[in-house]
Amino acid sequence: MKNQIHPLPLAVMALAIVTGCLPAQAQQLCSAASNPVSFGLYDPQSSNHIDNSGSITVTCQATVSLLIAYTVKLSAGSSGAYAQRKMLSGTNSLNYQTYLDAARTQVWGDGSSGTGFITDGYLLQLLAPVSRSYTVYGRVPGSQNVKAGSYLDTLTVLITY
């Protein structure tokens, strides 16, 4: 029997924005939106991984300065650990992970526990917002003995600028 896995909302459910500007620095505003990672149906009898991707789009607008620099970090989710994120269906869990790269070698996190995060910046035109999108690469490992259900986890996107 295949299990239904619901989309993994990256920033739809929870979005935290932290400002790191000093009063003497330029005024800027950054926000994020996400296209969730949806894994679809999972077959616990298959050893195949399920790979899919979503995206996080960061939009920044400056009112004074032209230089915008920021980081984009992801929380560990409901598991509380980056080593193995877990989607939940009641008390049942299904392991998954999110990555910075298509090869799925660098876990996207907050820089702790060997995880990486996005550091970016660019020059803005005054009063004109600029958006950048970053792909979130997800994977559900195969051969997990899980019960049928709808599995979900929510990750918080943290933008520091």
Question: What total number of domains does the chain contain?
Answer: 1
In the chain, the amino acid numbered 29 is L
Is the pLDDT at 124 greater than 70? The verdict is no
* Average pLDDT estimate for 99-118: 98
Here the CATH number for the domain that contains residue 108 is 2.60.40.1090
* Average pLDDT estimate for 66-92: 93
Range of the domain at 117: 3-160
Q: How confident is the model at residue 68 (pLDDT cuts 50, 70, 90)?
A: confident
Q: Cα separation of 123 and 104, whole Å?
A: 30
Q: Cα separation of 133 and 135, whole Å?
A: 7
**Between these two residues, 62 and 104, which has the higher pLDDT value?**
104
Percentage of the chain beyond pLDDT 90 is 68
